Structure 1
Amino acid sequence: MASDPEFVVAIPARFGSQRLPGKPLLPIAGVPMIVHVARRALLAGAREVVVATDDPRIARVLADSAVEVCMTRDDHASGTDRLAEVAAIRNWGDQTIVVNLQGDEPLAPASGIRTVAATLALSGSPMATLSTPLQTAAELFDPNCVKVVCRADGNALYFSRAPLPWARDAFARDRAALPVNTPFLRHIGLYAYRAGFLRLFSSLRHTPLEQVEALEQLRALEHGHDIAVALAPEPFPAGVDTAEDLARVERILSGRGPA
């Protein structure tokens, strides 16, 4: 892409987690997870990096870092709602590109962060995200692996936990392998929004498909808003949801190799 657009990165970080309580503060190679995530955002060249939290313990570990901390309300239903409050507090203009980097992504590639910002800048869509080709049938049939199906113009047609698209004839014969020449894409949960749309999105009513699939991005599609989708420029490692994930990332960041 000719030139990288100016963008900010906002990182929602909530202390509570059912699987890993205090997840943002868990040490990885001796450093709290949220600090690793913030460093990834800084490496991407963001104009501004803001961690949005409601917990002073998270704010304290970032006190000597190069990132800003924005204290937000403790009643937000989602990270997106938290970021909408940040956009208002920071007084970001409606056209400001805001990248939503989850606080449990300590391995997020800087190139992916730049790509999702550039995708939004080049598209006519108010929201952008990333995808990557699926590698195995096990991923396709895993409900924890979110799939995305795209239109011919590259915008999202649908996101689902179900195996999509359904290769009818091929799967009638064999479901153990992915059929060739079929666009199976895994969704990567990294988003960019215009700040004005971020505020609008948080005000939209929740929608049936969003609720049944438990996928917040479907709210945008159900209300008629486009989501531009780009391929990630390099592998995008999974985030940290479980103790096993934490051990895997620890091995990588401590220099003991991948799992």
Structure 2
Amino acid sequence: MHRRIHFISGLPRSGSTLLSALLQQNPRFHAGMSGPVGGMFTTLLHELSGQNEFSMFINDAQRQRILRGLFANYYDGEVDAEVVFDTSRVWCIRLHALKTLFPEARVIACVRDTGWIVDSIERLIRNNAFQPSSIFNYQSGGTVYSRTEGLVNGDGMVGYAYNALKEAYFGEDTDNLMLLQYDTLVNDPARALAAVYDFIGEPLYAHDFERVSFDDKGFDKRAGTPGLHQVRSRVGATARQTILPPDLFRRFENDSFWRDPQLNPRGVRIV
């Protein structure tokens, strides 16, 4: 690529869209919501594997050039920024590959208490009671319990991202990984952004936390979930009670493993 690239990943409903909205205030940066590159990366890996009858003609050096070319071909000619941030939940399970392809790239994983993630998604579902969501394959039935089970199982929107985060956090390729907590981002955005700039080695930019904007280009409406990527104009936390039943909310009270220093033997940076 003719520009530097970094990656945003982590858990859903944990601030990745807000982070992107803030980063794109910097005219040198390009950042957006989750896009197609992560999925294309996974598909290319599959097509370049042994399942392809012609794979004997493809070596690892060629695979790496093709995968680098994916990023260049997607962004070159479309983005003028010097620094690109690509967002996808899949990047947490691609740390070794990204480290090989882009040694200077950094991965910022956004994290939040699982109970509040599920609460946030349930609020979206209830606020759009007349629009079945793509999150649940447009099914209109179910209860908060069955919806939560679908979210947190291994293939669910939350469960997959959570397991991918743990794979990255406890793996051997954490040198370029940083965890950014949702609470830090909304309560102290200046400190959060300063940490991000320090992590990626870029000069700090004066961001405006009072006037934040983000355009999802109609994606949320098409997904039957208006508000999924909505960003409030002013950065700040909103105090509220959970709408989840108490037993369901308590189910996740021990999930925030990153808060235990004993579980961070590799010294992953946590902000």
TM-score bracket, shorter-length normalisation: under 0.3
The structure with the largest alpha-carbon Rg is: 2
> TM-score under structure 1 normalisation?
0.24
Normalised by the size of structure 2, how large is the TM-score? 0.23
Bigger RCO (CA 8 Å, 6+ sep): 2
